[in-house]
Structure 1
Amino acid sequence: MATAPGATDRRPRQSTAGLWNISFGFFGIQIGFALQNANMSRIFQSLGESVDDLALLWIAAPLTGLLVQPVIGHYSDRTWGRFGRRRPYFFAGAAVAALALFGMPNAPALWAAAVMLWMLDASLNVSMEPFRAFVGDMLDRDQHTAGYAVQTALIGAGAVVGSVTPYVLDQMGIANVAAPGGVPDTVRYGFYIGGAALFLAVLWTVLTTREYAPEDMARFDGHEAQTAETPAPPQSVAGAAGWIACGGATAALVAAAGLAKELYLLAALLAAYGIARLVAARLYLSGRRDHLLTHIVGDFAGMPPVMKRLALVQFFTWSALFIMWIYTTPVVAQYVFGATDPASAAYNAGGNWVGILFAVYNGVAALAALFVLRPLARAVGKVRAHALCLAIGALGFLSFLLVRDAHMLLLSEVAIGIAWASILAMPYAILASSLPQAKLGIYMGLFNVFVVVPQLLVATVMGTIVRIAFPTEPVWTMACAAGVMALAALATLRVEAP
């Protein structure tokens, strides 16, 4: 029977097993991210880097995400072949990420570790970005919250596995201390296990799911299926010039005030966006309206209002998280284990305990996603639920200034875990129900710009703040994290849920 123009059919309702299979690959991806987040500062310091320069070495990760995710989102929206739409990106990214995890702990020098971090983050982003859109592809709108909640639970479970692996290996008798310039075997074998688990988990999703063909997507989404081909509007030349001028002014300020040279990267990014807008306008006016850059810049400038307001929330949220990932190890090692020497047994014990702390907040997130978020959202609405969770997370960061007992820090991580559950689910559930389904990949990729831009800002600015304001007291980085997370909670209240 023919479908009337503009009419839609609904996607088949997925069972619990179907929800599991759709997102199981994210379990493996998060194992890789957890190993990276909990151990990269440790690896860098083992190779001779000082604590106040750690942020600079982390720049590769967010910069890669900034470049990769919109491009992958754009092309995955338009891909269809024998292996589907999103799954080819899952598989290719997982294969390269697994190789990077095998190579990371064997890096012979600091520069090699930085290169491997870039390779790892690029491939993880290639796999991760389509998974966000995949939930929207496969589920009808009334299952979006459930789909992202299951995805968040699997993310939390994967992060637990990645975070505790070095600690468990230590308890099994694997060496947790290495000679100066070396990486402990607990970290080395942990990365090997993580690489294998990542690849196998993504392979599970690739083999157990079948994507809907383009004609099925068109039937499900009706007129929305045509929006992916809508040309982006021309870009404002005046606006482009303003971005370039802002980049130039930032560079001039860095030079005049003698600020840290890594701030030139921030200036370059501002100017680069302005140049991209100029090029996109020229492409559009010359008739090349279907060009990658034209679409990405046009869609970025024309984001829906709900996405713009959520973007501000993401900016503050991920600034706080990136501070936590960079500085928790030196903070816990110094204030709880009394060690500042990365080669000491006490420092490495602190590093392993950070793995346990990160496992706790991820485990709490997995449980909260399944049992707390949905009833809380039904009671107070998605927006207020997210704001409340972020406020609880801010209190968790603030407690690091007061707590000096390793086990009491577990309570701090419970608070952070509640916030983490909401961060991974609520913004995406709101977006997936309010964005054109045919452009879900590109919009999810552009939304993640506001995940990586704050990380770039922290990576370029936080080292300078630490050196100037509290060079021997890194615990104050947690006060900074608490402050920006509180701003995220306030900004959430401006979001209007669809």
Structure 2
Amino acid sequence: MQKPKLGFWEIWNMSFGFLGIQFGFALQGGFMSRIFQTLGAAKDDIPLLWIAAPLTGLLVQPIIGYLSDKTWHPRWGRRKPYFLIGAILSSLALLFVPHSPVLWMAAGFLWILDASINISMEPFRALVADNLPDSQRSYGFVVQTLIIGIGTWIASNLPWLVSEIGVSNEAAQGVVPMSVKVAFGIGAFVFMASILYTIFTTSEYPPEDMEEFEREKKQKNRFLLDIIENIGNMPLTMKKLGVIQFFSWFAFFTMWSMANPALTEHVFHTPAPIEANYDLNNATQLLQFNTDNTAFQEASNSVGSYMGIYGLSSMAFALLLTFYTSKKRINRKYIHMGALILGGFGFIFMYFVPSPSWLALSFTLIGFSWGSILSMPYAMLSSAIDPKRMGVFMGIFNMFIVIPQIIAALGGVNFTYKLLGENTINAMIIAGISLLIAGFCNLLITNPNAISYQEK
């Protein structure tokens, strides 16, 4: 079926739910390590506490992609039922995460939160490819990235913003500050509202051959066999993109899990106080602990705000590409390569920043790579796979996102950064090196249609 080209606002409505998804991811990425440290986690334990996130993605996204390919409802469509289910579960998880009284409960809620976000996120990638002709794929994914950038910037600044308007950023030992709790509550509302907006403003195309679609649904369920067969039959371009994704997402997982301890220590000089180092029964020592903890919480707010800059610069990156791709073709390969290399230098520069304000430059460069990661690989992939298997292939493609994160969580981050020394800031150097490798791996991509849409 020849799909008509859509206007900007139709693509905007179709992608608007990603605002809520990114609120969830930004709050998770910017503040879960802070919550873990507040509840007593040692910094070297943090990557392992994060393992729930990639593990759930590894399991959930291929399953949801496969199921959504096999779903059709005359009113709710193919992908939208999964948006709604994921939004309900994610919003509930966001409400409960910062109220966790103990570390194991926070880790458990992270598991639930990430699984729920993945239920909503995977069908959004497939929806862009479902509803747009091949010539608009880059445009569609770039608009999606623009919305993601907006969500990242706003959500990353929420704890700082609510503390500025009077919500307390102080809390007793082992208690998450109210500013973080309020920010997560706002995130829950935005998540649900933005998903509902997309559901009610966007239509989906029915299967091209409804009779064949119904026959396939009635066949014996070959769920696992189908997924295994699709993994075995991955196009070569998808495998090459997988290499790029591996190093890209190793870098960003390292940032999400280790930026807060690394930057509060190295740049702000206010590391998280370790309870065992204080005699909390001594009034002077208790006062010192509370002073140090308040300084750590304030620095963590600043780290979160600086991290929000990468959302802002990814938004600017996406905005420029939106204007350009609405009229002209782009070379996805070289744009992605350049953006990843800039992000790599941004991470490495963190080691050398003379003052906290210079972190704005680091995260600006990282934002260029983030904006590209969220659009260019999917635009290249969608032009190299069977449209009838768009959902399941998009889900399988997620393996190249979550496997590096699992490796990082199981010791990859700690092992690699300690090759450079014990200082936690070395984790950011490892993230930079990983992004540089990812950038140069773009030279592997040779499929002309993946690099730039070719008129047929």
| Fold match (TM-score > 0.5) | yes
Match of 1:325 among 253, 256, 260: 256
| Aligned residue among 35, 39, 44 for 1:47 | 39
Pick which of 393-402 and 455-464 moved more.
455-464
8 A contact 1:145–1:374 mirrored in 2 = no
Letter in 2 for 1:357: Y
Map of 1:269 onto structure 2: none
Q: Name which of 387, 395, 404 aligns with 1:445.
A: 395
Stretches of structure 1 that go unaligned for 5 or more consecutive residues are 1-8, 219-224, 231-287
Q: 1:289 to 1:315 in 2, by over 3 A?
A: farther
How far the C-alpha of 1:341 sits from its partner, in A, is 2.3
Q: Deviations over 1:337-360 (max 9, x none)?
A: 211125622211221112112211
Partner of 1:365: 314
- 1:486 matched residue in structure 2: 436
- Off by >2 Å, runs of 4+ in structure 1: 215-218, 372-380, 466-472
Q: What does the per-residue CA deviation read over 1:121-174, in whole Å, with 9 as the maximum and x for residues that have no partner?
A: 000000000000000111111111111010000011111111010010111121
Identity over aligned pairs, percent = 41
For 2:425 and 2:22, how far apart are their aligned partners in 1? 26
Contact residue 373 and residue 422 of structure 1 kept, 8 A:
no
RMSD: 2.2
The separation in 1 between residues aligned to 2:322 and 2:333, in whole angstroms, is 11
User: Which residue is 2:3 aligned to?
Assistant: 11
Q: Is the 1:175–1:186 contact (alpha carbons within 8 Å) kept by the matching residues of 2?
A: yes
CA distance in 1, matches of 2:120, 2:349: 35
Q: Aligned in 2, Cα 1:423/1:360: closer, same or farther, shift over 3 Å?
A: same
Matches within 5 A, 1:72-111: 72-81=64-73, 82-111=75-104
Please list, as runs of the form range in 1=range in 2, the aligned pairs for 1:143-182 lying within 5 A after superposition: 143-182=136-175
TM-superposition CA deviations, 1:314-350 (whole Å, max 9, x none): 0010000110111111111112221112562221122
Q: Secondary structure at the match of 2:374?
A: helix
1:309 aligns with 2:258: no
Matches within 5 A, 1:348-363: 348-363=297-312
Q: TM-score, normalized by length of structure 1?
A: 0.82
Q: 1:88 to 1:494 in 2, by over 3 A?
A: same
Q: In the TM superposition, what is the alpha-carbon distance from 1:461 to its structure 2 partner?
A: 1.6
**1:73/1:445 contact within 8 Å kept:** yes
- The aligned amino acid for 1:38 is G
1:60 aligned to 2:10? no
Shift of 1:467: 8.8
Report the alpha carbon displacement of residue 464 of structure 1 after superposing the two structures with TM: 4.1
Give the structure 1 partner of residue 27 of structure 2.
Answer: 35
How many residues are matched?
426
2:356 is aligned, of 379, 400, 406, to 406
Shift of 1:370: 1.8
Does residue 190 of structure 2 align to residue 298 of structure 1? no
Does structure 2 conserve the Cα–Cα contact (< 8 Å) formed by 1:338 and 1:346?
Answer: no
Contact 1:175 1:184 in 2 (8 A): yes
Supply the distance in 1 between the matched residues of 2:168 and 2:107 (Cα, whole angstroms). 24
Structure 1 residues 73 and 379: alpha-carbon distance in aligned structure 2, compared to 1, 3 A threshold: closer
Query: Structure 1 residue aligned with 2:343, among 393, 410, 413?
Result: 393
1:406: Cα distance to partner?
1.2
| Aligned twin of 1:120 | 113
Q: Give deviations 1:76-119, integer Å, cap 9, x for gaps.
A: 00101241100000000000000000000111111111110000
Deviates more, 1:66-75 or 1:209-218: 209-218
User: Structure 1 residues 138 and 49, CA, compared in 2 at 3 Å: closer, same or farther?
Assistant: same
Query: How far apart, in 2, do the equivalents of 1:216 and 1:28 lie?
Result: 33
- Range with greater deviation from structure 2 (105-114 or 64-73): 105-114
Give the equivalent residue in structure 1 for 2:407: 457
SS of structure 1 residue aligned to 2:270: coil
Q: Provide the residue aligned with 2:296 in structure 1.
A: 347
Contact 1:53 1:463 (C-alpha < 8 Å) held by counterparts:
no
Deviation at 1:435, TM superposition (A): 1.3
The amino acid that maps onto 1:142 is S
Contact 2:343-2:435 at 8 Å conserved across structures: yes
Q: Which runs of 5+ in 2 are unaligned?
A: 274-291, 450-456
Corresponding residue SS for 2:444 = coil
How many Å separate the matches in 1 of 2:172 and 2:47? Answer: 24
